Amino acid sequence: MKPSQMMSEIESEAAGLRDADEAALIEFLEKAEQKHGFIPRDISEEVGRLLEVKLERLRRIQGKLESTIRRDVQEHVNHWRSEEGNLIMVLHAIQNQHGYIPREVAMELSRELGVKLARIYEVITFYHYFKLQPPGAHSVTICNGTACYLKGSGDLINELRSQLGIVEGQTTPDRQIHFDTVRCIGCCGMAPAMVVDGRTCGRVRSSDIAGHIDGLRAKKEAVA
Amino acid sequence: MKPLTRQDLVELAARPATDPPAWIRVQLDTGGIAAGAETVHAALEHARVEQHLPFALLRTGSVGYSFADPVIEVQTPLMPRVLYGRMTPELAPRLLDEHVAGRRLLDDHVIATRQRGLVLDAPVSQILVLDTGSEATNKTEFFQFSFQEELKRRGLSERVQVVRALDLGIYDEGAVVQLLPGGVTYTNVLAPDVARIVGESIEAGRVLDDLLWKTPDKQVRIVLRHCGKIDPDSTDDYLRRAEGYQAFARAVFDLTPEQVIAELKVSALRGRGGAGFPTWMKWQLTRAQPVGQRYVICNGDEGDPGAFMDRSVLESDPHAVLEGMMIAAYAMGASQGYFYIRAEYPRAVERVQLALVQARELGLLGRNILGSGFDFDAKIRLGAGAFVCGEETALIASIEGRRGSPSPRPPYPSVRGLWGKPTAINNVETLAIVPAILLRGGAWFASHGTDTSKGTKVFAVTGKVRNAQLVEVPMGTTLSEIVFDVCGGVLDGHEIKAVQTGGPSGGVIPVHLLDTPVSYETLQQLGSIMGSGGMLVMDKGDSMVEAGIQNGDIAIIKSSDTAETGEIVVALIDDTEATLKRLRKKGASIALEPANAAYETRIFGPDRVKIQGRLAGLYRRYN
């Protein structure tokens, strides 16, 4: 192959890179290395330039995220600013917004309140109600308080385990359904009770579980 | 909204609202809603509009009959007022057709009144029948038919309807009959009695003394006085139909703080959160601190599994709790209050939040309330799922925004509490009682109960009981009266084994001690506690150890390769399966006994089982 022909080929190869994602870039580099025995300078420069463009874009997205986080956190904090001991109420507001307490938000909260991150985590991890992992799109919670326990919440838990293939505290791999237990929701008169997406159901039988799960899955399809 | 004045309250007291002639109240607390009360409400609204029926559809809290949720109450002209349980949306159109328009009660849903009559002073219009004996030989339909036939024979079937009831509040007394509207109730009715009842009671208006149920209802409703009767979201209802804020007005205008405390002392009210510390003394101790900022906290961190009375009261009568808090604040000179409520109780939070907003609009919170010169405001703080935060010092730490670690006492919160200031922490139920004491007098309250435990107590009776519900009884009522007479005992074919009071930190009371009258002292003597009032009924199918050792508990094992018969051990079977069981040595073989009759004892040769250790303790996490 003539050098000039090779160069134009490399140029055209590099030109096709503009829309490639990371995996494609790596594959392309490996192919170039196999083909030429080395990575031609034109290609490495083009890949480098593309990466920088991507990085810049990512930085802009991150900046945007951070300013949103900052704005949200400031909003929550301002609402509770004048109140002493507001940390727990701000954490409630954050969890209501995100469904959990994202690490970046906790960090921003630490800056905004002037409270050490360790102390914020001390509070988050102490209280069972606060979550550090994003919940599933839907949630199923079985009450395992003593009244529900006596009325057979164990059977409901087993049924959910086998239906969902996960144990309590976990989210299905498709992040659709989060399954958890709770100590007592004060519906002991309706035991055993469970909460499906915030709706409390009483006197639940194992045979009802499949219907509830199907209901949630159907909701998901309706949305999609 | 125009702020209320003292004069407004005087006028409200003189002219309480009158009920509209026809109404249906739907009981919408968390329990009712879980059972579908919202859909029942929607169906009734739909049917009402469609059929152009003139009645008011009202929302209330819960009367406490959890076993029958969703519950509605119906009042229409020329009909007795009745509660219907286990309502469904499908029943709504039928209810309007038959009851509201046709003046006939629905079968199988009526919950009979507990205010039973002893005289027949009005013509009988309905006969409620229910066989309260064994379910296997239920004769309710037979009695319904017999009464109908007898009425037909005497030409009364047009005038008197025979209705199968859902619940009569009487159990194991054979066939029970209640005559409406008076409420005269006959028990252990046999087939030959049918003709007598129709002939003598219905035709001639004579009460049959040999059948008459004379036992008065065990319940006395003080805490639950408005629950299920008023709309918790309506200040108007509270002001006009529940003597709302009259007790507070009496306190700030007619009494000094010392007099309020003195009235509480006469009532001998003790904290309903569990420990039973005299409420007046708590207030007195806080008041005795040097002048300055003081706080009053309502403890709504109801954490004991099986207990739901605080949730129900907050959801059904939030203004009463607020009024109690305001009176407490006046008595001890506090200007700021906090409601600490579990985040797991969103509806209770919502309703208290609304009550606070409404009270502020009406000038019942803020500066110079009702022109009295007294300033007070209250806010909500949410719990976040930590059982320990029901403890005073941990609760204070949580309101301060810290992790809820308890701290040693003294100093008690009444000396150094929230942000180091004198603080009184009162339970929801305690505060809900306070306005009633101020209106009726401490002596009236003290006339209920025992020598050392005065007044009434609300219990949430749940577990393997026939009718799970909220029960309010005078102190001194026995456990078996609560479980059997009020709640109907355990289900058919089961045998009661024990009752747990006081939640996880309380105790399990075996069946031979159920005749113990309930009071702070007696329960303590039994090694249990009153706690906040959860009462869990266990039947013999449930293993005591399982109720004691729960999923997720950490067993503390003392390492050992030997153990005695009867000890709970960790055993390794065939080097693969580890299990916690009770050990029995049977000759050369070893039996591993489960603590639940549902599982079988397993017997192994000695070479297959290795003892790993003996159970020394249990560690349980509540979060």
| DSSP output for B199-233 | IIIIIS----TTTB--PPPS---STTTTTTTS-TT
> Shortest Cα distance from A208 to chain B (angstroms)?
14
Note whether B48 and B101 are within 8 A (CB): no
pLDDT of the residue at A171: 87
Give A95-128 pLDDT, tens digit per residue.
Answer: 988 888 999 899 999 999 899 999 999 999 999 8
pLDDT of the residue at B577: 61
- Could you tell me if A43 lies within 8 Å of chain B, comparing CB atoms? no
Give A106-114's long-range contacts (Cβ < 8 A, gap of 24+). Answer: A108/A66, A108/A69, A108/A70, A108/A73, A109/A73, A109/A77, A112/A70, A112/A73, A112/A74, A112/A77, A113/A77, A113/A87
Give A39-61 pLDDT, tens digit per residue.
Answer: 888 888 888 888 888 888 888 88
Phi, psi of A56 (to 5 degrees): -60, -45
Strands A194-196, B377-383: parallel, antiparallel or unpaired by DSSP?
unpaired
pLDDT of the residue at B621: 64
User: How would residue B304 be classed by pLDDT, with cut points 50, 70 and 90?
Assistant: confident
What value does the mean pLDDT of chain B take? 89
pLDDT of the residue at A26: 82
pLDDT of the residue at B51: 84
> Shortest Cα distance from A224 to chain B (angstroms)?
27
pLDDT of the residue at A49: 85
- Could you tell me if A73 lies within 8 Å of chain B, comparing CB atoms? no
pLDDT of the residue at B544: 46
Phi, psi of A34 (to 5 degrees): -65, -40
Report the chain A residue with the minimal C-alpha distance to residue B340: A89
Q: Is B489 left (phi over 0), alpha (psi -120 to 50) or beta?
A: left
- Could you tell me if A2 lies within 8 Å of chain B, comparing CB atoms? no
Alpha-carbon span B451 to B519, nearest angstrom: 10
User: How would residue B593 be classed by pLDDT, with cut points 50, 70 and 90?
Assistant: confident
Nearest to B506 by CA among B479, B472, B475, B467: B479
Q: Measured between beta carbons, which residues in chain A are less than 8 angstroms from residue B460?
A: 188-189
Res. B533: pLDDT tops 90: no
User: How would residue B536 be classed by pLDDT, with cut points 50, 70 and 90?
Assistant: confident
Report the chain A residue with the minimal C-alpha distance to residue B471: A189
Q: Measured between beta carbons, which residues in chain A are less than 8 angstroms from residue B400?
A: 84-85
Res. B216: pLDDT tops 60: yes
Q: Shortest CB distance from A188 goes to which of B303, B400, B462?
A: B462
| DSSP output for B37-48 | HHHHHHHHHHHH
Task: Tokens for B225, please give them.
Answer: 């006085």
Mutate to test the interface with B, among A116, A148, A188, A212 (most CBs of B within 10 A): A188
More confident of the two residues B619 and B590 = B590
Q: Shortest CB distance from A150 goes to which of B66, B311, B464?
A: B464
Lowest mean pLDDT across A14-18, A176-180, B151-155, B587-591: A14-18
pLDDT (mean) for B82-104: 93
Alpha-carbon span A179 to A35, nearest angstrom: 51
Q: Measured between beta carbons, which residues in chain A are less than 8 angstroms from residue B401?
A: 84-89, 123
User: How would residue B547 be classed by pLDDT, with cut points 50, 70 and 90?
Assistant: very low
Please indicate whether, in this complex, the C-beta atoms of B534 and A128 are within 8 angstroms of each other. Answer: no
Q: At what angle do helices B309-316 and B346-361 cross, to 10 degrees?
A: 40
Predicted structure pTM score:
0.80
Please indicate whether, in this complex, the C-beta atoms of B403 and A126 are within 8 angstroms of each other. Answer: yes
Give B177-192 pLDDT, tens digit per residue.
Answer: 999 999 999 999 999 9
Q: Measured between beta carbons, which residues in chain A are less than 8 angstroms from residue B500?
A: 146
Please indicate whether, in this complex, the C-beta atoms of B538 and A150 are within 8 angstroms of each other. Answer: yes
Alpha-carbon span B273 to B271, nearest angstrom: 6
Note whether B154 and B204 are within 8 A (CB): no
Q: Shortest CB distance from B311 goes to which of A144, A186, A201?
A: A186
Report helix, strand or coil for A187. Answer: coil
Report the chain A residue with the minimal C-alpha distance to residue B348: A186
Res. B557: pLDDT tops 80: no
For CA atoms B531, A144, B171, B491, the dihedral sign is negative
- Could you tell me if B491 lies within 8 Å of chain A, comparing CB atoms? no
Please indicate whether, in this complex, the C-beta atoms of A187 and B308 are within 8 angstroms of each other. Answer: yes
Res. B1: pLDDT tops 70: no
